[in-house]
Amino acid sequence: MTEKSKYIKRADGRKFDEIREIEAKVGIIPNADGSAMFKTGGTIAIAAVFGPRTLHPQHMQNPEKGILRVNYGMMPFSVSERIRPGPNRRSQEISKVTEWALTPIIDLEGYPNTVVDVFIQIPQADAGTRVAGINAAVMALAQAGVPMKEMASAVSIGKLDKTLVVDLNKEEEDFDEGEGSTDIPICILSKSKKISLLQLDGKISIKELKEVIELAKKATEKIHEIQVKTLKEVGK
């Protein structure tokens, strides 16, 4: 940890390693086999899981095991300037990396020729939507009873000029002084501590990147606790 990062003041008063306030809820969409809402600060993600169900088109079926399919999208009114509904290049990429982030945690060996569909929607965005989507999706998968090897939690670590901070908001993401803002979304698995999502855009040294991973581990442990607590409350 650099000396400087300990003393950084963030616009919203958070400490450098403090995540935004989290609200989570499971079972928000009755039609789905599993569903959840994950809110972190001004970002809200809702996720629904359907399946395992028979996969169509048939040629995509895997006779050895079931597959996971993720569809991420932002609602048109979720950002300041309206975005057109429907998929775009960004949302398609996020869908794919989210799929890769979630695939290692589920075990679909016993479900050949099936698909587990995960739908993620963002009604309100204030940075970190893909990691909020992952956190919601993990809870939805657990509620749906999809066989899971472990859980996963995701957080976005940022570098503002030379300072590392945890869980960027939009204002911080747009920071443009000095070396500017570097955004590093990370997903860490709960038991194996493996990294299943890692993206980066900006500038960072190897030493700093090691710190980033340590920060992400700590932050995702806190998020994991909230996910577990929320799941235990279901049906109470």
Partner 1 sequence: MIMPEIQKQRIIEYIKEKKRFDGRKPDEHRKIEVKLGISNKADGSCSVKFGDTEVYAGIKMDAMEPYPDSPDEGTMVTSAELSPIASPDFESGPPRIDAIELARIIDRGIRESGFIDFKKLCIKEGEKVWQVNLDVYAVNDNGNLIDAASLAALIALANAKMPEYDEENEKVKFGEMTDNPIPLNKDAMAFNITFHKIGNEIIVDPNKEEEEISEWRLSVAVADNKGEPRISAMQKGKESAVSEEEMEKILNLVEDKYKKMIPKIKKMVWGK
Q: Given the rule CB under 8 A, which residues bind partner 1?
A: 29-32, 42, 44, 46-48, 50, 53, 71, 73, 75-82, 85-87, 117, 119-121, 123-126
Nearer to partner 1, 21 or 81 (CB): 81
Pairing of strands 67-74, 114-124: parallel
Round to the nearest angstrom and report the end-to-end CA distance of the chain.
41
Among 94, 120, 133, 99, smallest CA distance to 32 is for: 120
Among 117, 94, 92, 159, smallest CA distance to 31 is for: 117
Nearer to partner 1, 125 or 212 (CB): 125
140 and 47 in contact (C-beta within 8 Å)? yes
Tell me the CA distances in angstroms from 109 to 115, 118, 184, one per residue in order.
12, 18, 32
Nearer to partner 1, 97 or 125 (CB): 125
Nearer to partner 1, 39 or 159 (CB): 39
Shortest distance (Å) from residue 217 CB to partner 1? 31
Shortest distance (Å) from residue 150 CB to partner 1? 25
Shortest distance (Å) from residue 17 CB to partner 1? 26
Shortest distance (Å) from residue 48 CB to partner 1? 4
